């Protein structure tokens, strides 16, 4: 467990030193912290990117990924906020958003299968699945309709990079990365 988390911390530290991050956060995530991040990110990204459609996509992806932590983290603070890690950064030609949080081991297989299924779909299939989910309107016990991960892929056109690190028999650390190309966004 510690070796894997040290590896992630080392990678993040190396990235921050070599490329710089507009924003890195670890801790409880709730509506207030999400508002804070969107304001801060908007300020930093606006200095680097003038295309409003790209900025909207970055913020949309950022909010969806933050909501995944607030709704699905298995690690909560005393106020009920999901704990996790949030990173947004820029490289030449794209922005990336990384989130990480604890999930129950019993949910890993289902989540991994869902991500793999989504990663295999093209835009037409994603649009069809999105429409189907909207029409059925099923809301999970955690308050989501399963649209977030679908919508991110529809907006970015880029497959997810992800990893599950086993913490113990009951919990895994889930790392999810999404990228937004600056030159091929619709």
Domain annotation for the chain: domains and CATH numbers = 2-181 (3.30.565.10)
pTM summary value: 0.83
Q: What is the mean pLDDT of the chain?
A: 81
* Cα dist from 7 to 3, 10, 41, 74, 141, whole Å: 6, 5, 26, 22, 34
* Cα dist from 17 to 89, 154, 163, 184, whole Å: 12, 31, 23, 27
| Residue 184: both structure tokens together | 């091929």
Note the pLDDT of residue 175: 92
Q: How many CB atoms lie within 10 A of CB 120?
A: 9
In the sheet that holds 171-181, the strands lie side by side as 23-29, 82-91, 94-104, 171-181, 161-166
Q: Percent of the chain having pLDDT more than 70?
A: 80
- Write out pLDDT tens, residues 99-153: 899 999 999 999 999 999 999 999 999 999 989 888 876 655 555 557 889 999 9
DSSP-H helix ranges across the chain: 2-19, 31-48, 52-72, 105-120, 123-136, 148-156
- Write out pLDDT tens, residues 27-51: 778 888 888 878 887 787 887 777 8
- Write out pLDDT tens, residues 3-17: 555 555 566 656 665
């Amino acid at each position: 467990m510690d070796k894997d988390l040290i590896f992630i911390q080392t990678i993040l530290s190396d990235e921050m030193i070599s490329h710089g991050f507009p924003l890195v956060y670890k801790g409880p995530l709730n509506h207030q912290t999400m508002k804070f991040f969107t304001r801060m990110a908007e300020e930093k990204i606006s200095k680097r990117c003038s295309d409003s459609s790209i900025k909207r996509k970055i913020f949309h992806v950022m909010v969806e990924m933050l909501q995944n932590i607030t709704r699905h983290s298995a690690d909560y603070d005393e106020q009920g906020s999901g704990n996790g890690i949030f990173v947004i950064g820029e490289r030449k030609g794209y922005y990336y958003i990384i989130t990480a949080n604890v999930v129950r081991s019993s949910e890993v297989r289902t989540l991994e299968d869902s991500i793999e299924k989504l990663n295999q779909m093209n835009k037409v299939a994603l649009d069809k699945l999105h429409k189907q989910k909207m029409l059925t309107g099923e809301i999970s016990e955690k308050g989501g309709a399963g649209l977030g991960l679908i919508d991110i892929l529809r907006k970015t056109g880029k497959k997810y990079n992800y990893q599950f690190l086993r913490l113990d028999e009951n919990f895994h650390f889930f790392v999810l990365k999404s990228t937004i190309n600056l030159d091929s966004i619709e």
